[in-house]
């Protein structure tokens, strides 16, 4: 039982750290997606706050590797092209944790 609670605490610490890292990385995204992740019409940037984590991850990868490419995703490319797998995972976890628009 002791071991189980240690494992639980450890995984909790890990995920807390991921969110903090994701929050830091997200600062680079606010110009278009907003501080709250609700998007900006003027930038044609959609709201992403509270979206499913797996979906966010998939879109960031698709935009990064050019599978999803159009004039709008081109604007985002400089901000995602240098993100590591770990960055993308932390970012997606953080964005998914942001409150959705009511």
- Residues within the interface to ligand HEC (CB under 6 A): 28-29, 31-33, 43-46, 48, 56, 59-60, 70, 72-73, 75-76, 79-80, 91
Nearer to ligand HEC, 4 or 63 (CB): 63
* CA distance linking residue 86 with residue 93, whole number of Å: 11
Shortest spacing between CB 11 and ligand HEC, in angstroms: 24
Shortest spacing between CB 101 and ligand HEC, in angstroms: 13
Kindly state the tokens that stand for 39. Answer: 């998007």
58-61, long-range: CB within 8 Å, 24+ apart, which pairs? Answer: 60/88, 60/91, 60/92, 61/88
Shortest spacing between CB 15 and ligand HEC, in angstroms: 18
């Amino acid at each position: 039982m002791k071991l189980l609670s240690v494992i639980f605490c450890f995984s909790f610490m890990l995920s807390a750290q991921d969110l903090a890292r994701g929050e830091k990385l997200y600062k680079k995204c606010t110009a278009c997606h907003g501080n709250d992740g609700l998007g900006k019409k003027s930038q044609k940037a959609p709201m992403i706050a509270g979206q499913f984590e797996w979906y966010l991850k998939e879109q960031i990868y698709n935009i990064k590797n050019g599978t999803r490419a159009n004039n709008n995703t081109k604007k985002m490319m400089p901000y995602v092209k240098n993100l590591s797998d770990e960055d993308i995972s932390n970012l997606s976890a953080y964005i998914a944790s942001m409150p959705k628009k009511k």
